[in-house]
Amino acid sequence: MAAMTATQRDDAPERTERLLSEFRARFDGDPIVVRAPGRVNLIGEHTDYNDGFVLPIAIARDVRMAVRARDDDRVHLFSLNFQEAAEFSQGEIRFDPNAGWSNYVRGMAQQLMRSGVTLRGMEGVVEGDVPIASGLSSSAAMEIAAGLAFQVTSGARVDPVELARLAQRAENEFMGVHVGIMDQFISRLGEPGQALFIDCRSLEYRTVPLHAGDYRFVVADSRQSRELAGSAYNERRGQCEAAVRALATLAPGIRALRDVDPPALLRYGYALDTVVGRRARHVVHEDSRVLGAISALEVGDLATFGALMNESHESLRFDYEVSSHALDVLVGAARQVQGCLGSRLTGAGFGGCTVSLVHHEAVPDFERQVTHLYREAVAVEPAVYVTEAADGAGVLRDPEGTAAGLVA
């Protein structure tokens, strides 16, 4: 884990200045600024809630909060993105269907207090540039940013892994979305230039140098919003649980699809109906692909890594059935670009983004061709941008010099 005993470098100081200007206009004073990034998952999709393996990177798009402690238990916030204020009492936290973005802050406050952290009231301004509902995990970025904001305003120390777990619980229990741990984990623990291999059962993790050389990861946003809390996501999770129940009657010791390898699935797969069997096949083989992808990165074999990305997308498309016409068009267009080694959807699917591994000299052609083909097929302008493995959450501005040490 990267030590964060000092403030992080600010790669977008103009955004911080807007936060500070709004804060001073509304609250006066000199706030602390924290940030938490979104993420791109390179490979390992829908494995996290199956106790499996994932390989995400943090990205240079984040949620930022300029905050200051209050002397009461009230939380007063203003969102620059929504031009909307929110207020609640820490003594009366409940989900508000009309509160939108501030529910993530409410959920984090509730989980921190349940874990034994004594919170002070807080006032602040929030701004983010992680596209919402795009599959880049704007929700986890908001949760982790809020968690850090409460830490620094309350003088609390929370272990980074514990903060990720609390953020997951906020999403599961407060927001009602049954996500795994990956998004919150990488937002808190990402490191520059490194992917993060996470064992979602044990929460053991290690960094994996990307060794990408002349290649870049390029994200294409379909601009097709998907609702992670929708029925399809929870249906897939239920189908995985059904597969585990059936397989466990034949092979005791199976607690999750993580415990099934491809030979075992061939041996016992007759116990699964057709649809549940396809869901299980994706998860079991996706875990194997993650391990193969790490081995490929460690020796700089980017061709194999790209091939595994392609295999992952086809599995998500046909076995797990979480792709969409828009995502398939983006992936197909990417694969036509000379210099693209692999492309796949990233995130839960049903819309959102793709990620592709592209030679840096081919990036301009990639942007032109993918944009042109997608516009022709879908009649929507995609957003295409190069990303890199960025730093995890931390403190950007610490006027009194006490905040950064709290989140190290």
Residues 240 and 108 in one domain: no
pLDDT tens, position by position, 159-206: 999 999 999 999 999 998 888 899 999 999 999 999 999 999 999 999
Task: Give a yes or no: residue 137 inside a domain.
Answer: yes
In a domain, 6, yes or no: no
Instruction: Give yes or no: residues 163 and 239 share one domain.
Output: no
Any idea what the CATH number is for the domain that residue 26 is in? 3.30.230.10
Q: How far apart are CA 86 and CA 125, in angstroms?
A: 10
pLDDT of 2 reads 40
Specify if 317 maps to a domain: yes
- Distance, in Å, from the CA atom of 329 to the CA atom of 376, rounded to the nearest integer, reads 10
131 contacts: CB under 8 Å, gap ≥ 6: 61, 138, 221, 383
How many domains does the chain divide into?
2
- Give the Cα separation of 408 and 393 in Å (integer): 10
CA distances in angstroms from 317 to 114, 146, 255, 275, listed in the order given: 40, 34, 26, 13
Rounded CA-CA distance 408/400 in Å is: 16
Interatomic CA distance for residues 359 and 280, integer angstroms: 34
Q: Between β-strands 74-79 and 122-128, what pairing exists: parallel, antiparallel or unpaired?
A: parallel
Please tell me the predicted confidence (pLDDT) of residue 206. 96
pLDDT on residue 30: 93
Percent of the chain clearing pLDDT 90 (strictly above): 86
User: Residue 378's domain is classified under what CATH number?
Assistant: 3.30.70.890
Burial class (CB in 10 A: 0-12, 13-18, 19+), 314: middle
Do 154 and 274 lie in a common domain?
no
User: What is the per-residue pLDDT across 216-248, written as a single tens digit (0 to 9) for each?
Assistant: 999 999 998 765 446 788 899 999 999 999 999
For residue 222, what are the domain limits?
215-387
Average pLDDT over residues 247-261: 96
Q: Are residues 152 and 169 in the same domain?
A: yes
Query: What's the whole-model pTM score?
Result: 0.93
Co-location of 238 and 147 in the same domain: no
Q: Give the model's pLDDT for residue 232.
A: 84
CA nearest neighbour of 44 among 342, 325, 324, 313:
313
Q: What are the C-alpha distances in Å from 246 to residues 46, 278, 280, 352?
A: 19, 14, 11, 32
Residues 382 and 402 placed together within one structural domain of the fold: no
Residue 241 lies in a domain: yes
Both 194 and 220 in one domain: the answer is no
240 plus 370 within the same structural domain: yes
135: in domain: yes
Tell whether 254 and 166 lie within a shared domain. Answer: no
Is 3 part of a structural domain of the chain? no
Indicate which residues carry an active-site annotation: 183
Domain contains 5? no
pLDDT, tens digit, 9 for 90 and up, residues 286-308: 999 999 999 999 999 999 999 99
Looking at the domain assignment, is residue 127 inside a domain? yes
Asked if 123 and 27 count as a contact pair (C-beta separation under 8 A), the reply is yes
Q: Are residues 176 and 279 in the same domain?
A: no
- Asked whether residue 403 falls in the same domain as residue 382, the answer is no
Within a 10 A sphere around the Cβ of 214, how many other Cβ atoms?
11
Same domain, 307 and 398: no
